[in-house]
Amino acid sequence: MTNIEEKLINGLNPQQKEAVLAIDGPVRVVAGAGSGKTSVLTKRVALMLERGISPYNILAITFTNKAANEMKERIAGLVGKELADKITISTFHSFCARFIRRNVDAVPDLKDKNFTIKDEDDKKALINDCLKTLNIEAKASWFANAISDFKNNLLLPEAIEVDWKNKDYVAVYQMYQERLKANNSCDFDDLLVLFWKMLKQRPDLLERFQEQFKYISVDEYQDTNGAQYEIVRLLAKKHQNIFIVGDVDQSIYGFRGADFSNMMNFNRDYPNARLIKLERNYRSTEVIVNAANSVIEHNQERLEKVLWTDDKRNIPIICRTLHSNDEEALWVTQQIKREVQENNRKYNDICILIRNNALSRSFEECFVKSSIPYVVIGAKTFYDRREVKDTLAYLNVLSNPNDFIALRRIINEPKRSIGDKSVQKFFHYCFENGYDFFEGVNSLKESDAFSTMMPKKGRSGLLGLYEAMNIVRNDNETPLYKKIESIMQNTGYLKALYDDVRNEGEEVSQTRIDNVYSLIDLARTFRLSPNERTIENFLEHIALISGADTTNDDKDNVTIMTCHAAKGLEYPVVFIVAFEEGIIPSGFAINDEKIGINRGIEEERRLCYVAITRAKEQLYLTSSLFRMAKGNASSPIASRFFREIPTQLLLGSLDLGIFC
């Protein structure tokens, strides 16, 4: 072993050294949270170069551009930028796009190398056109998700057996692909499909790629879908120098098509594959590691491993049951202040993990009132979310009927068959006559000008909006929160969101519904005297809250993010909030469990495992005895995952009636 080789493996533990030195043949590395897998991946590539393997023959696949860039930088630090730049380090989609463009003559679905890649908005717009052409009344997002699932499993339109259940899907899928081809375009999922088709249909190209990429490594292999798995299998088939790294216990993207069985069944394709386990955790204290182990060991579908650490600091996990979700947010705020003032933490040492974005509202409001800077990662802040802005726009029009900016936002949300030209004509009519919204509609109701202004469906839609809002406008008795709920129901907005449960997917649509009701809940607890709980005062309150500068220049902010968004990150202090049945684990997983489907619960447990292992030093777990949801107070049961953590690791006011 050369001096350089010895330097590369110096400081690695025995299992890490074994992985770095495993150059030839198939290798499966089970890398637990915080086990140093990135260091293993980069040092292994550096060792390969030191042993004379050409950078031209090395392919390293990651799942994010951030991970790819980090790997490039680390390798450059070891071998120099010039050599590192010659290695193919890329995400799946970037890799496929590069070689499709270089070999576009082998891709009949595309006209030339100048093809364009359509984003999600373009994709949905094109699908909408297909739906209109085929006279199918449905949301584009519904079909977009289905088409993505087809492609991720390499199901082409012509290969799908058509029956009464999927005939509309297949018809739209077929037309969508035809229109992409006509426009010399593809979508992101197509990049995988087209590259796979090229490998299957052009044996000469497959052999060329196999000879070029003799050494392949794939990070986060548990997150691969069917298409990604097949591409890797084809590329590695000849030389079988395939090195995969991942952790089934951190597989949390099943809803995106990820199939952790690809990692579980690695030996099916490579019977002689070496198995290496990285079980030493360098991130967290022993308390946190043991808590994570205790939770995840309840899963049946996993590759056995046990994390351990040398960090023996006995810092217990602090648990607290609060009376309500607002009190939960207040208590968390107090603990953050204590961490900063007594433990010399910075705000950016602290992370709040939530199961879904609807849960952030009470924390955001508390942070603003307490002057705690924060940032919401992976999503807009609560008051910037579309459904919240829509709800506030309805209130703005009710409060100020001359607010045509707000009116433009909601006049056709949900769809009321009022076209853009009709909206322009109506606005012009109001401006010309000095009418506000209500005056304008009222003057048109019996006017012949109405029929020339817009079609019958549009007139009906506008009148429906007017009547729904006018009822609330003239009601001085109903409480504020009831008014808001009435507006959102009577205008059809909530119904449209509930319809989207079928079209956009349960979790996405339910979150949007929860966000609307979270705003309604805020109006219910709006802390003014009953006479002052007016729409105008409420809007002013919201404006002051949402308009506050919650970040500062040095970016020392408390981070709020979903458990999914936190994967791959770490913080000295982590709060996992709303740790309750129906949230963690989700209600959808619980419902599936009732009919004998346990995969959802196991994925939720993996999500819990990921959340716990984000914490380096201090972990907080909180729940609420009463939680406002959809205008109603519920009495949630603390998460079953609480009961899976040994009590000797926990400290705090643990309500055994709730947690046990």
Catalytic residue among 18, 187, 190, 219: 219
Q: 3-class SS at 314?
A: coil
Q: Is 313 a catalytic residue?
A: no
First to last CA, the chain: 56
Instruction: State the sign of the Cα–Cα–Cα–Cα dihedral 210, 212, 214, 219.
Output: negative
Is residue 329 within 8 Å of 302, Cβ to Cβ? no
If you search the block for the tokens 């140093």, which residue do you land on? 36
Catalytic residue among 62, 88, 222, 250: 250
CA distance 519 to 388: 7
The pair of structure tokens assigned to 173 is 């899928």
Q: Which amino acid is at 312?
A: K
Q: How far apart are CA 322 and CA 494, in angstroms?
A: 30
Backbone angles phi, psi at 34, to 5 degrees: 70, 20
Among the listed residues 256, 268, 267, 204, the one whose alpha carbon sits nearest the alpha carbon of residue 228: 256
With beta carbons less than 8 A apart as the criterion, state whether 579 and 317 touch: no
* Bridge partners, residue 322, by sequence: 624
What are the φ and ψ backbone dihedral angles of 148, each rounded to 5 degrees?
Answer: -60, -40
**585 CB contacts (<8 Å, ≥6 apart)?**
600, 601, 604, 605, 608, 639, 640, 641
Residue 657 neighbours by CB distance under 10 Å: 10
Q: What share of the chain is helix, strand, coil (3-state, %, to 5)?
A: 55, 15, 30
Q: Is 17 a catalytic residue?
A: no
Query: 3-state class of 250 per DSSP?
Result: helix
38 included as an active-site residue: yes
According to DSSP, residue 104 is labeled: G
What three-state secondary structure class fits 108?
coil
H or E stretch covering 185: strand 185-187
Q: How far apart are CA 423 and CA 410, in angstroms?
A: 11
Nearest-CA neighbor of 397 among 438, 454, 444, 450? Answer: 438
Q: How many CA atoms lie within 13 A of 4 on its CB side?
A: 11
CB-count exposure of residue 564 (10 Å: 0-12, 13-18, 19+): middle
Among 220, 387, 485, 521, the one annotated catalytic: 220
Catalytic residue among 28, 37, 43, 197: 37
- Phi, psi (rounded to 5 degrees) for 245: -130, 135
Active site residue 219: yes
- Residue 250 annotated in active site: yes
Candidates 38, 174, 210, 212; catalytic one = 38
Two tokens, residue 568: 């791959």
For 189, residues 6+ apart whose C-beta sits below 8 A from its C-beta are 147, 148, 151, 152, 227
d(CA 253, CA 260): 9
- Cβ pair 252, 562 in contact under 8 A: no
**Known catalytic membership, residue 88:** no
**Nearest Cα to Cα of residue 190 among 284, 285, 126:** 126
Marked catalytic residue, from 44, 416, 614, 640 = 614
* Partner residues linked to 320 by β-bridges: 622, 653
Cα separation, 518 vs 359, in Å, equals 8
Q: How far apart are CA 212 and CA 164, in angstroms?
A: 46
Specify whether the backbone of 240 is left (phi greater than 0), alpha (psi in -120 to 50) or beta: left
* Nearest C-alpha neighbor of 150 from the set 206, 103, 189, 111: 189
**Cα gap 471→485, rounded to integer Å:** 13
User: Cα–chain-centroid distance for residue 56?
Assistant: 35
Which residues have a catalytic role annotated? 37-38, 219-220, 250, 614
